[in-house]
Amino acid sequence: MKKFSVLLFGAMFACGCESAFATRGSFDFDRWNELQNSVRASATKNNISSETIDATLKNPVFIPRIVYNDKNQSEFKLTLKDYLSRTVSSERVKSGHYMSKKYPTLLGKTYTKYGVPKHVILAFWGMESNYGGVKKAYRLKDAFFTLMYDGRREEFFTKQLLSLMKTADKNQLDINNIYGSWAGAMGHFQFIPTTLSQYGADGNGDGKIDIINNISDAMFSAGNYLNKLGWNPEEQIARKVLIPSDFDSDLINGDKKRAISEWAEMGILNADGTPLVASDTVVGLVADSNDDTVSSLVASPDNDVEMQSVKVAYLTYPNFYRIKRWNNSNWYAIAIHELSEKLK
């Protein structure tokens, strides 16, 4: 345990951040040992091999930076315009087209098996890991032990660690060489272990699932996940429209759904300023209440044209809400839409 203390304090000083020591007074080694004993008991009960259990419990490291990150997640919300400028950059679009040319066969196989078009898979890949470019920040077992010790969501992170152990056991992976984000997401599409255990798929037929080092497994797993969410390849995600500048802000968070004909009656227009074509199709509506108004030429049904103050918004279709089951953010779902459109 003395060796661990050196590692612990070294990591603490290196990160230069507020740590559990500041709030607890000192590191509770008894609690740390109790967590490890509890994991051993639960893993044994779940028929995880002794080799994987021993590997998991070999020198787990508490990382103060992870506690700091968890306690200081920014509540600052970007405007939709700023969010899209960061996530749907020209460089990301360029990289997506490159990956489309590099993996045409694999993208085609993913579409054939799971019904998710290549531009949609590429959009998720770009958003989640910048096409695999995100660096491996932390050994995942250390991240989970740290977050379990901190206690804010101990049950959740214990479940993630046990799921990771099962995955390592089943696929003959070295759990000490599985890295990901501080919150426990991993691989090209940033799955947490429980998501991987439910939707992971073998893309190259080797009998194993490795979404970190094997792009075939990663793509098939993403396709399988979206397929199980009900992805409809014949359906769009969203459609850009214009709304009056004084439109009711209670109707623009995506939760209120109406027939397109009803939205049209409320003054919503196509992106080019022409009237919406009446339809019984039921869709939602998403817009940024903080977005600036713009002046646009608007055509009335009798073809009179006038300048009006409007805001950009999106009609949102069922695929939009399937994306939100992957990541429950309107801005994220719109970014997937915008990026996938540019990658067609």
Helix 318-326 with 330-342: angle, nearest 10 deg: 110
Pair 140, 54 in one domain: yes
Pair 56, 158 in one domain: yes
**Nearest Cα to 319, choosing from 223, 198, 193, 235?**
235
Distances (CA, A) of 81 to 84, 289, 328, 338, 343: 5, 11, 18, 12, 19
Whole-angstrom distance, CA of residue 13 vs CA of residue 7 = 10
Ranges assigned E (strand) in 152-218:
179-180
81: tokens are: 């315009």
Mean pLDDT (whole number) for 31-53: 97
Within a domain: 151:
yes
- The torsion defined by the Cα of 85, 118, 164 and 323, in degrees rounded to 10, comes to 60
Q: What is the pLDDT of residues 196-206, one digit of tens each?
A: 999 999 999 99
Within a domain: 149:
yes
Which pLDDT score, from 0 to 100, does residue 25 have?
54
pLDDT > 70: what percent of the chain?
A: 87
Does the CA dihedral 188-192-193-195 come out positive or negative?
Answer: negative
Terminal C-alpha separation, the chain = 55
User: For residue 157, what is the domain's CATH number?
Assistant: 1.10.8.350
Give the pTM.
Answer: 0.88
Which pLDDT score, from 0 to 100, does residue 73 have?
73
Pair 152, 53 in one domain: yes
Whole-angstrom distance, CA of residue 316 vs CA of residue 66 = 36
Pair 63, 166 in one domain: yes
Ranges assigned E (strand) in the chain:
138-139, 179-180, 238-244, 258-259, 269-270, 282-287, 294-299, 305-316
- The torsion defined by the Cα of 39, 45, 49 and 50, in degrees rounded to 10, comes to 60
Domains held by the chain: number: 2
pLDDT band (50, 70, 90) for residue 95: very high
Whole-angstrom distance, CA of residue 270 vs CA of residue 282 = 16
Whole-angstrom distance, CA of residue 28 vs CA of residue 5 = 11
State the Rg of the chain over Cα.
Answer: 24
Pair 68, 141 in one domain: yes
Within a domain: 287:
yes
Whole-angstrom distance, CA of residue 261 vs CA of residue 258 = 8
pLDDT band (50, 70, 90) for residue 1: very low
Which pLDDT score, from 0 to 100, does residue 40 have?
98
Q: What is the pLDDT of residues 181-229, one digit of tens each?
A: 999 999 999 999 999 999 999 999 999 999 999 999 999 999 999 999 9
Q: What is the pLDDT of residues 311-343, one digit of tens each?
A: 999 999 999 999 999 999 999 999 999 999 999
Pair 52, 146 in one domain: yes
Most confident of 69-73, 134-138, 275-279: 275-279
Q: Which domain holds residue 39?
A: 2-72+135-186
Whole-angstrom distance, CA of residue 262 vs CA of residue 96 = 37
Pair 10, 154 in one domain: yes
